[in-house]
Amino acid sequence: MDQPPTPAPAPPTTQPKVPQVSVDGDTNVFLADLRDYQNMGNQLRATLVLTNNQHLIWYIVTVTPTGRTYTTEPLPTTIVLPACSTAEVIRFTCTDVSVATLPVVPNNALTLFADGVGQTDQTQNELLLLYAGEVVWRAAFGAPLRPDVGQGLGDLALNVASWEESKLGSTPVVGAFWKIGKAVQNKDPVGIAGAVNQALTDPVVQQWLAEHGVDIEAQPVIKVGVRVEQVVALDIGLLVDKWFNPDNATGMLNIRITE
């Protein structure tokens, strides 16, 4: 009895190549990661997320395409990266910031530069607005600036067309916080207290704060104001030196997707 012919072996299957993501640079300053991978049709996509690496300072991060960069949404050129907070010396809370959704395809590449000291006049003014917020929160509400409120201030700062003082009046919230920021830069407790109180009694600023979760009616400081003694107790000189310390104040990351 004839035996049935032995079937030919199946051809080996070729596994599709999975793109590799590399991140190199100053990871001691901030971190970048691709998360939430999803298959959309025939394309793999992921969300670019940045995180401050346990520093108590804010950063302005510039995003520059350096390869054949694809995005599924507009890629921001500049973003605000919040300061970490800490209740203990060894435990930090750092907020993740989602930048954009990127197709995970070869040669997709970005360079990210984080400036936490204000290397240009533009970034210095943007940071002054954020640290004005820090002082308002610490003096008026007894806590560091909330990341979500800082993001709101950062969004305003990144959209300022001109930092000339005469032109800031067209954006009252920016003008009010910028005035506080200049007093902070000068380490002037009297000027800070005056600028904070002027801001907190401005109806436009009050409305902006309310839109960002501050219960105006429940805050007695809105009515009684901030005293110079409260500002002095913050040790503004030490805070400014810490915020604008060149250590870990800048960093660069390169992200590249390869086959």
Asked, for residue 68, whether it belongs to a domain, the answer is yes
Query: pLDDT tens digits, residue range 127-155?
Result: 999 999 999 888 888 888 989 999 999 99
Residue 3's pLDDT is 61
148 in the same domain as 91: no
DSSP string, the chain: -PPPPPPPPPPPPPPPPPPEEEEEE-TTTEEEEEEEEEEETTEEEEEEEEEE-S-SS-EEEEEEE-SS---SSPPPSEEEEPPPEEEETTEEE--EEEEEEEE--TT-EEEEEEESS-SSHHHHHHHHHHHHHHHHIIIIISSPPPHHHHHHHHHHHHT-S---GGGGGGSHHHHHHHHHHHHHHTT-HHHHHHHHHHHHT-HHHHHHHHHTT--GGG-THHHH---HHHHHHT-HHHHHHHHT-STT-EEEEEEEEE-
Asked, for residue 181, whether it belongs to a domain, the answer is yes
128 in the same domain as 100: no
Q: Domain count of the chain?
A: 2
Asked, for residue 63, whether it belongs to a domain, the answer is yes
80 in the same domain as 166: no
Query: pLDDT tens digits, residue range 178-231?
Result: 999 999 999 999 999 999 999 988 999 989 988 988 877 777 777 778 889 988
Asked, for residue 215, whether it belongs to a domain, the answer is yes
143 in the same domain as 64: no
> Mean pLDDT throughout 45-66?
93
137 in the same domain as 109: no
Asked, for residue 2, whether it belongs to a domain, the answer is no
112 in the same domain as 125: no
128 in the same domain as 106: no
Query: Where in the sequence is the domain holding 199, given as residue range(s)?
Result: 121-243
76 in the same domain as 57: yes
57 in the same domain as 170: no
106 in the same domain as 164: no
191 in the same domain as 77: no
Asked, for residue 15, whether it belongs to a domain, the answer is no
Q: Which of the four pLDDT bands, split at 50, 70 and 90, describes residue 89?
A: low
CATH of the domain at 107: 2.60.40
Asked, for residue 14, whether it belongs to a domain, the answer is no
Asked, for residue 143, whether it belongs to a domain, the answer is yes
238 in the same domain as 157: yes
**Which pTM does this prediction carry?**
0.85
